[in-house]
Amino acid sequence: MFLRGERNGDSLLQQHCLKAMLPYFFAAGHHNYARYLSWYVRQMEHLPQRAKEDLLAEVDREEKNKHKEDGKGRRRLDEADWKKIAVELEKYSHPLNDQQPGVYNICKGQVASDTFELSPVPPGLIDEYGCLRKGDKAVLVKSLSVSVTTPCAPNVVLVDAGQLLYHVVWPVSGTTGDLAASFGTRLAHYPPVSKKIILFDRYDQDAPNA
């Protein structure tokens, strides 16, 4: 009734329900609800006459314009849904009427084997002493681990000489041999079993970049 008063905007029904619910808040120990609800009910009971007339007029308007959930179309749809639910439930066996010797599925009617007894606690989580089982994370990690294989070194490595110039250390003061040694140090980062081939850009003699 309280929900109906809330949804339909029926203030008088809402006040009636709140007043009837008030003793239960005291009995349940909900002191804040009991205190503020008592104040609210007393305030609503001592409203001025003009405010009461406005409430009654609002209720009359709500009665004329009923909520769409109370319409005939909505009730017909609800009745059709209830019939569909009843038809669907008829396909299953009733657990209270169909007495089976063991555990069975109410949808399929399949009876469980007697080898699996019911347990008051899940044995996968509780041991025979009633204590929680401790999970072994190492076993789980091994089961979920992904095997990583080291790729084989390539037979040939192609090195762009133009890009290599930006990665070598240029000596502040030195000879061409120092620059070549810096190239060798950089090439040592590649696998030693791979053959290194350095590629230089080539321009024709008449090209603008020559």
Q: In terms of residues, how long is the chain?
A: 210
pLDDT surpasses 60 at 196: yes
* Cut 0.75: pTM above it: no
Percent with pLDDT over 70 in the chain? 70
- Phi and psi torsions of 206, nearest 5°: -95, 5
pLDDT surpasses 80 at 123: no
Q: Under a CB-based contact definition with an 8 Å cutoff, are residues 164 and 198 in contact?
A: yes
Say whether 111 sits in a helix, a strand or coil.
Answer: strand
Section 163-174 average pLDDT: 77
Position 209 scores a pLDDT of 52
Residue 93: CB atoms within 10 A of its CB come to 14
Position 145 scores a pLDDT of 66
Position 59 scores a pLDDT of 63
Residue 61: CB atoms within 10 A of its CB come to 10
